[in-house]
Amino acid sequence: MRQKPTPREMRVLRAVEDGCSLKVAAERLGIPVSQVSHILSSLYTRLKIKDLSTSYHTRKDRRRMAVSICKREGWWDIVPEEEFLTTWEGGHALIVEYGDCEFYGRCQCGKKFGMVTPDRFTDGCFSGKWERHVMRDL
Ligand SMILES: [Zn+2]
Protein backbone atom coordinates (compact mmCIF):
# COMPACT_ATOMS: atom_id res chain seq x y z
CA MET A 1 0.00 0.00 0.00
CA ARG A 2 1.48 3.28 -1.08
CA GLN A 3 1.19 6.39 1.00
CA LYS A 4 -0.46 9.36 -0.67
CA PRO A 5 1.94 12.23 -1.48
CA THR A 6 1.61 15.48 0.40
CA PRO A 7 0.25 18.52 -1.50
CA ARG A 8 3.77 19.98 -1.45
CA GLU A 9 5.24 16.87 -3.05
CA MET A 10 2.52 16.91 -5.70
CA ARG A 11 3.22 20.54 -6.53
CA VAL A 12 6.89 19.77 -7.05
CA LEU A 13 6.09 16.73 -9.15
CA ARG A 14 3.78 18.82 -11.33
CA ALA A 15 6.54 21.39 -11.75
CA VAL A 16 8.99 18.77 -13.08
CA GLU A 17 6.45 16.72 -15.02
CA ASP A 18 7.59 18.06 -18.37
CA GLY A 19 11.16 16.96 -17.68
CA CYS A 20 12.57 20.40 -16.98
CA SER A 21 15.72 20.85 -14.94
CA LEU A 22 15.54 21.20 -11.17
CA LYS A 23 16.72 24.76 -11.59
CA VAL A 24 13.77 25.61 -13.82
CA ALA A 25 11.39 23.83 -11.45
CA ALA A 26 12.81 25.79 -8.53
CA GLU A 27 12.22 29.03 -10.40
CA ARG A 28 8.65 28.02 -11.21
CA LEU A 29 7.95 27.18 -7.58
CA GLY A 30 9.93 30.03 -6.12
CA ILE A 31 11.93 27.79 -3.82
CA PRO A 32 15.62 26.80 -3.66
CA VAL A 33 16.89 24.02 -5.96
CA SER A 34 17.99 22.09 -2.87
CA GLN A 35 14.40 22.14 -1.67
CA VAL A 36 13.09 20.73 -4.96
CA SER A 37 15.69 17.97 -4.78
CA HIS A 38 14.85 17.19 -1.18
CA ILE A 39 11.09 17.06 -1.77
CA LEU A 40 11.44 14.84 -4.85
CA SER A 41 13.60 12.41 -2.88
CA SER A 42 11.01 12.10 -0.17
CA LEU A 43 8.26 11.72 -2.76
CA TYR A 44 10.11 8.83 -4.41
CA THR A 45 10.56 7.22 -1.02
CA ARG A 46 6.86 7.62 -0.31
CA LEU A 47 5.92 6.11 -3.67
CA LYS A 48 8.50 3.36 -3.17
CA ILE A 49 10.36 4.26 -6.35
CA LYS A 50 13.81 2.83 -5.87
CA ASP A 51 17.02 4.70 -6.44
CA LEU A 52 18.53 2.37 -9.00
CA SER A 53 20.89 4.74 -10.70
CA THR A 54 21.77 8.40 -10.71
CA SER A 55 21.98 8.81 -14.47
CA TYR A 56 20.13 11.64 -16.13
CA HIS A 57 17.79 9.37 -18.06
CA THR A 58 16.93 7.35 -15.01
CA ARG A 59 16.01 10.54 -13.18
CA LYS A 60 13.53 11.28 -15.95
CA ASP A 61 12.19 7.75 -15.75
CA ARG A 62 11.65 8.12 -12.02
CA ARG A 63 9.69 11.32 -12.58
CA ARG A 64 7.57 9.59 -15.19
CA MET A 65 6.99 6.67 -12.81
CA ALA A 66 5.95 9.04 -10.04
CA VAL A 67 3.56 10.86 -12.38
CA SER A 68 1.98 7.65 -13.64
CA ILE A 69 1.56 6.24 -10.14
CA CYS A 70 -0.14 9.43 -8.96
CA LYS A 71 -2.45 9.46 -11.97
CA ARG A 72 -3.32 5.79 -11.59
CA GLU A 73 -4.06 6.21 -7.90
CA GLY A 74 -6.28 9.20 -8.61
CA TRP A 75 -4.04 11.62 -6.73
CA TRP A 76 -3.15 13.81 -9.67
CA ASP A 77 -6.28 15.95 -9.77
CA ILE A 78 -7.17 16.21 -6.12
CA VAL A 79 -4.32 18.34 -4.89
CA PRO A 80 -5.46 21.19 -2.67
CA GLU A 81 -3.68 24.47 -3.20
CA GLU A 82 -1.50 25.41 -0.32
CA GLU A 83 0.98 28.12 0.40
CA PHE A 84 4.46 26.88 -0.31
CA LEU A 85 6.50 27.14 2.83
CA THR A 86 10.23 27.00 2.33
CA THR A 87 12.17 25.10 4.91
CA TRP A 88 15.92 24.83 4.97
CA GLU A 89 15.94 22.16 7.63
CA GLY A 90 17.73 18.99 6.60
CA GLY A 91 18.38 20.34 3.14
CA HIS A 92 21.31 20.94 0.85
CA ALA A 93 21.92 24.65 1.00
CA LEU A 94 25.22 25.95 -0.35
CA ILE A 95 27.35 27.44 2.39
CA VAL A 96 30.38 29.62 1.76
CA GLU A 97 32.74 30.21 4.66
CA TYR A 98 35.64 32.59 4.94
CA GLY A 99 38.83 31.09 6.37
CA ASP A 100 42.03 32.92 7.27
CA CYS A 101 42.43 34.31 3.78
CA GLU A 102 40.40 32.01 1.56
CA PHE A 103 36.84 30.92 0.92
CA TYR A 104 35.56 27.42 1.53
CA GLY A 105 32.45 26.03 -0.11
CA ARG A 106 30.43 23.24 1.38
CA CYS A 107 26.90 21.88 1.40
CA GLN A 108 24.61 21.98 4.40
CA CYS A 109 24.85 18.17 4.49
CA GLY A 110 28.64 18.32 4.93
CA LYS A 111 29.87 17.74 1.37
CA LYS A 112 32.93 19.90 0.65
CA PHE A 113 33.45 21.86 -2.58
CA GLY A 114 37.02 23.01 -2.04
CA MET A 115 38.68 26.35 -1.47
CA VAL A 116 39.40 29.48 -3.48
CA THR A 117 41.57 32.47 -2.77
CA PRO A 118 39.89 35.90 -2.56
CA ASP A 119 41.29 37.02 -5.92
CA ARG A 120 39.61 34.06 -7.60
CA PHE A 121 36.42 34.21 -5.59
CA THR A 122 33.21 34.95 -7.50
CA ASP A 123 29.56 34.65 -6.54
CA GLY A 124 29.22 31.48 -8.56
CA CYS A 125 32.55 29.80 -7.95
CA PHE A 126 31.08 26.94 -5.88
CA SER A 127 27.66 26.78 -7.46
CA GLY A 128 28.61 24.42 -10.31
CA LYS A 129 29.92 21.78 -7.93
CA TRP A 130 27.03 22.34 -5.58
CA GLU A 131 24.47 22.05 -8.37
CA ARG A 132 25.98 18.78 -9.59
CA HIS A 133 25.87 17.47 -6.02
CA VAL A 134 22.20 18.40 -5.60
CA MET A 135 21.30 16.95 -9.02
CA ARG A 136 23.04 13.69 -8.26
CA ASP A 137 20.88 13.23 -5.17
CA LEU A 138 17.99 12.51 -7.47
ZN1 LIG B 1 24.22 18.21 0.30
**Cβ burial 43-57 (10 Å sphere, 16+ → b, else e):** bbebbebeeeeeeee
Domain termination residue (choose one: 61, 80, 99):
80
Q: Answer whether residue 118 is part of any domain.
A: yes
Asked if 64 and 111 sit in the same domain, the reply is: no
Q: Answer whether residue 55 is part of any domain.
A: yes
pLDDT value of position 138: 47
Q: Answer whether residue 1 is part of any domain.
A: no
Structural domain tally of the chain?
A: 2
Asked if 99 and 69 sit in the same domain, the reply is: no
CA of 1 to the centre of ligand 1 (A): 30
Closest CA to 32 of 92, 107, 99, 118: 92
The span from the CA of 53 to the CA of 86, in Å, is 28
CA of 73 to the centre of ligand 1 (A): 32
Give residue 36's domain range. 7-80
Asked if 50 and 113 sit in the same domain, the reply is: no
Q: Answer whether residue 2 is part of any domain.
A: no
CA of 138 to the centre of ligand 1 (A): 11
Residue 43 maps to which CATH number? 1.10.10.10
- Give φ, ψ of 136 to 5 degrees: -65, -25
CA of 38 to the centre of ligand 1 (A): 10
How does strand 94-98 pair with strand 112-116? unpaired
CA of 93 to the centre of ligand 1 (A): 7
pTM: 0.55
Domain termination residue (choose one: 80, 100, 127):
80
pLDDT value of position 57: 56
Domain termination residue (choose one: 80, 98, 127):
80
Per-residue pLDDT tens digits of the chain, which is 138 residues long? 678 888 888 889 988 988 888 888 988 888 888 888 889 988 988 888 876 555 555 778 888 889 999 999 988 876 666 555 555 556 788 888 888 889 999 988 888 999 999 898 887 899 889 888 888 764
Asked if 68 and 16 sit in the same domain, the reply is: yes
CA of 118 to the centre of ligand 1 (A): 24
CA of 132 to the centre of ligand 1 (A): 10
The span from the CA of 62 to the CA of 12, in Å, is 14
Burial class (CB in 10 A: 0-12, 13-18, 19+), 62: buried
The span from the CA of 45 to the CA of 39, in Å, is 10
